[in-house]
Amino acid sequence: MDDRNDNDGNDGLLSIGAFARRVGLAPSALRFYDDCGVLRPARVDEVTGYRSYAPGQEPRAALLRRLREAGVPLTDASLVLDGPPEEARAVLEAHARKAREAADAARSVIGEIGAVLGGPADGAGATRARIGGAELASAVRQVAPAVAGAALREEFPALGCVLVELDGQEVRLVATDRYRLAVRTLRPLVAEGGPRRLLVDAREMRDLASWAVRRTEIVIEAGGGGDARLASGGHTRTVTPVGATFPDYRLVLDALPAPRTRIIADRTALRAELATAGASGTVTLHTDGRRLLLSRPGAAPVTQRALRTGEPLRVSFDPEVLLAALDAGVGPDVLLEVSSPAEPVVVRSADQGSFTALVMPVGEESA
């Protein structure tokens, strides 16, 4: 559900939009945290599925936002939110140590690059959304692999495009070749105007991303007559919308069976293990309480920390296919939503925005 109802109820509960504005989180992030079980709404309407939140949930939401801004994975954030104080302090101290090490390494690299470059780069009725240039470039990189190849786009031009949706508090980029689907949601810094949809050829979108990545912020502007542009400072790039009909990706997502299992794992750690697997057959994931076990033929199982809700999970993947979805993710966590070992698995990640991809599991091989 989209949770589009934005009115406060007479019962004192807040719509997801109103609560999102109060606590500084995007509605997509709130939906993600609900699915992960770390921030449940106070009520979900049985008919519409709209989520409502109580004012008393604001402190927990604010703490969760601060933890996420600090880059704390959800597996660790859940311990800070609900675990013993001693364990929470240990988790925060460990994360602070890793952050200092990462910052030191980043400063060293930036200093070296800056020395080479000689200084940092400068960074009516229309709908506008202001977002970070690097964020837009990252979003294009994430969804572009799902664009159809030359033969299919010749027959169906829309499948060779990226759909850009400007919709209030969210900017969404979508691509599909009917076998894969990728959706990236961004939270604009400033947004005004009504909903707009732009269908842009993927090659042009990559070119625009190459331009945007060098800009600190850009404004996406779409007029009522179908005209569109990207602007940053005194520089402007015209966008040429494609006159085609993009598949209704929401129908695809809504048609998926309800997940029987949700599991949250450390995206970086899971990605590292899949990278070592390479093309050596399938990788099977299964859970035991707060552990995620990864096994593959001819290798000892590997255990990682994870959070699971629902039924015990056991599903197998081609490691390279799942790795591609993790590479395209955003933030420190990944959420796998599994309905059955034979149905598409929804791979999601989120921070202030979110990324969603569909990955087909495969039959499990003998270890």
* 96, two tokens: 């602070």
Give the per-residue pLDDT at 300.
Answer: 85
DSSP string, 140-194: HHHHGGGS--HHHHHH-GGGGEEEEEEETTEEEEEEE-SS-EEEEEE--SEEESS
Per-residue model confidence (pLDDT) at position 255: 84
CA distance 221 to 192: 10
**Looking at residue 214, what DSSP letter applies?**
T
Residue among 228, 237, 205 at smallest CA distance from 137: 205
Q: Which CATH superfamily is domain 127-250 in?
A: DNA Polymerase III, subunit A, domain 2 (3.10.150.10)
In this prediction, residue 119 carries a pLDDT of: 37
pLDDT value for 337: 92
Alpha-carbon span 367 to 192, nearest angstrom: 55
The contacts of residue 120 (CB under 8 Å, 6+ apart) are 114
Q: Are 216 and 121 in contact (CB under 8 A)?
A: no
Fold match, 127-250 / 257-359: yes
Spell out, as residue ranges, where the chain has pLDDT lower than 70.
1-10, 106-124, 277-280, 350-353, 364-367
Domain 14-77 belongs in CATH node 1.10.1660.10: yes
Q: Are 219 and 235 in contact (CB under 8 A)?
A: no
257-359 belongs to CATH 3.10.150.10? yes
Query: Per residue in 130-170, pLDDT tens?
Result: 999 999 999 999 999 889 888 888 889 999 999 999 987 88
Q: Tell me, what's the pLDDT at 55?
A: 94
User: What is the pTM for the complete model shown?
Assistant: 0.65
- Domain range summary for the chain, segments of one domain joined by +: 14-77, 127-250, 257-359
